[in-house]
A and B are shown apart, each in its own frame.
Chain A
Amino acid sequence: METFLEARHIVKRFAGHTALDDVTVSVPRGRVFGLLGPNGAGKTTLIRIINRITAPDEGEVRFDGHAFRAEDVQQIGYLPEERGLYKKMKVGEQAVYLAQLKGLSAAEAKHRLQDWFEKFGIMPWWNKKLEELSKGMQQKVQFVITVLHEPQLLIFDEPFSGFDPVNAELLKREILALRDKGHTVIYSTHNMASVEDVCDEIALINKSKVVLTGNVQDVKQRFRTGLYEVVSTGGELQPRPERYAVLSCETDGGVTRHLLQKEASLTNSGLIALVAQDLEVRSIAEQLPSMNDIFLKVVGHE
């Protein structure tokens, strides 16, 4: 998998504390990269370095195969966590202005904006002042502004905050569509629920350090707990303490649910074979931890 953006051994110190301590992440091309971590972990600082808003004290950033250059910001679209646009400026005018600052010509910006505004149903607000729009609508405008210049790298910092579920879903689809078109996406959040839906790769930052990184499925595998839920409609499960422990057993309306803790030596196939001997199995599912569980486990540990 080709790396699009790489931050190597980044160190950033502020008066009194170190915001990033030897942070290395690599963002693969054409994927959604989740930048996770609790508040104050250093995510925003890293994003600001990637945006060239601040420079690292040590370490380097490589962008699309070359050392980071000032012009590269044209190829970045950034949706900051703290949303904000000019309240008194007209929506269309403001979007064109911000697109021009990203290198688009006014005519091209207008053309593309019309497409996006039609898609999001905000065309009637083109000549309204931003402050006249509802918050959700302002968010949509800001999203459009972020992606308008079709940058290679998109950075979304908590993009779903402030959206209702319908619009959040719409936005999620758009983000995935952008990924499928070949854009690389960095998605920063501390809300784990959406991570599994959206992210391909993650890096978890805690207390200025990267504490966990990798493919989402790999990470889940790494944190597998060996818990299995077996749903069966008949039979009696034999206790086999050397293979598995039965943590709970509930029967409800002829359906029995066993929660098993598997020993590490036993394979999944082995477990299925053993269980199938005793039970009329309806389903057997490994209980992979949610990203939320992993987050809590890793961050709670530190």
Chain B
Amino acid sequence: MNKILIIIKREFLTRIKKKSFILLTVLMPFIMAALVAVPLWLASIKDSDQQRVAVVDSTGKYLSALEDTKNYHFFTAPALLPEFRSDTSDVLAVVSITADLAQHPKAITIYSREEVSQELLSYVQSCINEQVRKDKLAASGIRDLDRIIEDVQAELSVSTVKWNEKGEETSSHTGIAIAAGFLFTFLIYMFVMAYGGMVMQSVTEEKTNRIVELMVSSVKPFQLMMGKIVGIALVGFVQLTIWGVMLAVILGVVGSVFGADAAMAAAGAQPAVPGMGADASAVAVGEMSESAEIVQALANLPYLELGIMFVLMFIGGYLLYASFFAAVGASVNEPEDTSQFMMPMIFIMIFALYAAMYSVENTNGPLAFWASLFPLTAPIVMMVRIPFGVPLWQEALSVLLLFGTALFFVWFGGKIYRVGILMYGKKPTLKEMLKWVRYK
């Protein structure tokens, strides 16, 4: 067997056999699903638990304005009875109105033994406000004034349409495009940080363990480095795949139990995008109010383009950063010493994230353009732009630049790695590390 394959196998197997890895891989989807499901679940609990709110209205005008909601039942009470104050009362709160609110705006108070919930307060406020507004409009004596005002205040909803290459209209949804772009961007960012960091940690560990001298007497340092980088990438792929599949299953189950809307949106999205169910349903659950429109917009995302670019950007970005991390890990003696070299990289990554966020506002602006070509930020920024449509030549140039730079980093990192892993003693300076590149 090829040595590099043996190394990949070991790096891969020792990691996925670790208890911590198995635990995290299995639990993470549940944690992620819980983040989505728990609010839904809590919302469904409230249904069965309608609470009573007494209304003491001396004017008698306002009870009709307070319609019952899912959570609150309003009933009229003759006066502010002392029993409302007792602990055993089943009345949550008392709304007391002592005068016509059009003339005396302060004449309304809510009493409760507990802090009045924001939900109740804002519901009562909006209902009463509406009633008071109507009363005032009626008092003005102009006929149909309320309808005129309503007409004036009508809200517009702008629909967005994107022309495709042939000039045909396709339905687009800016929110979905942003969400899809950011999902991929964050996946790349997280992957590069987490698994690139793992490469560095593993290299430093081998160096401080002093096993590396034994290793490089059997294999070339470059083989060792690449074996590690590839092995850890495979660990990442496996973990992501498991998470994706589990999330899709869990959300499917949760959706069917707790929210027909969510399930519908997820189910509607899945046939159109096999394998992306998890992502689509995660997005769909977030904005289920416009589910039909979203389903259509989801179906219209450029999945093939997104998929291909994601894989390319992902591999290129990971290769680039992982070889840098490997070189840093090899150059230092203690894990603590890495920070000096990590800082600039973290700055670049964070800059890339911000660039991605601002690029969303103007996906063809100069920031988005340059940041998606510059190899260190391209993997993060480019993914945000793709749902909005990027010219092919820009994508090709970006991928070309990224892979060119990544290969250079692999070569350069390999040179530093080779010398660094055998250098003990004081922390090397940048100048010394550059000298290592020239060593035979």
Measuring CB to CB, which residues of chain A are less than 8 angstroms from any residue of chain B? 14-15, 48, 51-57, 73, 76, 78, 80, 82-89, 97-98, 100-102, 142, 145
Contacts and interface: CB of A to CB of B under 8 A. Distances in A.
Contacts of B7: 101
B47 interface: no
Given A56-B440, A101-B6, A73 B432 contact: no
Interface residues of B, number: 22
Given A98-B214, A101-B3, 10 more contacts: A15-B432, A53-B216, A54-B439, A56-B440, A73-B217, A80-B213, A80-B217, A86-B14, A88-B14, A101-B215
A51 B435 CA distance: 22
A83 B6 CA distance: 22
B40 to A, nearest CB: 41
A55 B438 CA distance: 12
B214 A84 contact: yes
Nearest to A100: B6
B217 A51 contact: yes
A57 B438 CA distance: 11
Given A48-B422, A55-B440, A76-B217, A84 B211 contact: yes
B216 A86 contact: no
19 contacts: A14-B439, A15-B435, A53-B213, A54-B422, A56-B440, A73-B217, A73-B218, A76-B217, A78-B217, A80-B213, A82-B210, A84-B210, A84-B212, A85-B209, A86-B209, A97-B6, A98-B214, A101-B215, A142-B214
Contact of B214 (A56, A57, A80, A88): A80
B1 interface: yes
Contacts of B440: 54-57
A16 to B, nearest CB: 10
A101 B219 contact: yes
A52 B214 CA distance: 12
A76 B440 CA distance: 21
Contacts of B432: 15
B10 interface: yes
Contacts of A78: 213-214, 217
Interface string B205-243: 000011111111111000000000000000000000000
Contacts of A82: 210, 213
Given A15-B432, A97-B10, A100-B6, A83 B217 contact: no
A80 B3 contact: no
Interface string B400-430: 0000000000000000000000100000000
Contacts of A53: 213, 216-217, 422
A101 to B, nearest CB: 4
Nearest to B212: A84
Given A57-B440, A73-B217, A85 B422 contact: no
Nearest to B210: A84
B208 to A, nearest CB: 8
Interface in B107-141: none
Interface in B150-180: none
Interface in B1-27: 1, 3, 6-7, 10, 14
Nearest to B213: A80
A64 B6 CA distance: 28
A135 B422 CA distance: 22
A102 B214 contact: no
A53 B216 CA distance: 6
B439 A80 contact: no
A216 to B, nearest CB: 27
Contacts of B435: 15
A14 B1 CA distance: 35
A18 B86 CA distance: 92
Max chain A Cβ within 10 angstroms of own Cβ: one of B7, B212, B440: B440
A100 B213 contact: no
B218 A89 contact: no
Max chain A Cβ within 10 angstroms of own Cβ: one of B1, B7, B215, B218: B218
B211 A86 contact: yes
B428 to A, nearest CB: 10
A145 B440 CA distance: 28
Interface in B353-407: none
A168 B181 CA distance: 64
A237 B8 CA distance: 77
Contacts of A83: 210
Contacts of A48: 422
Contacts of B3: 101
A78 B215 CA distance: 10
Nearest to B1: A100
Contacts of B209: 84-87
Given A15-B435, A56-B440, A85 B211 contact: yes
A61 to B, nearest CB: 13
Nearest to A89: B14
Contacts of B14: 86, 88-89
Nearest to B218: A101
Contacts of A54: 422, 439-440
A293 B14 CA distance: 50
Contacts of B10: 97
Contacts of A97: 6, 10
Nearest to A81: B213
B328 to A, nearest CB: 20
A93 B218 CA distance: 17
B218 A102 contact: yes
A53 B218 CA distance: 9
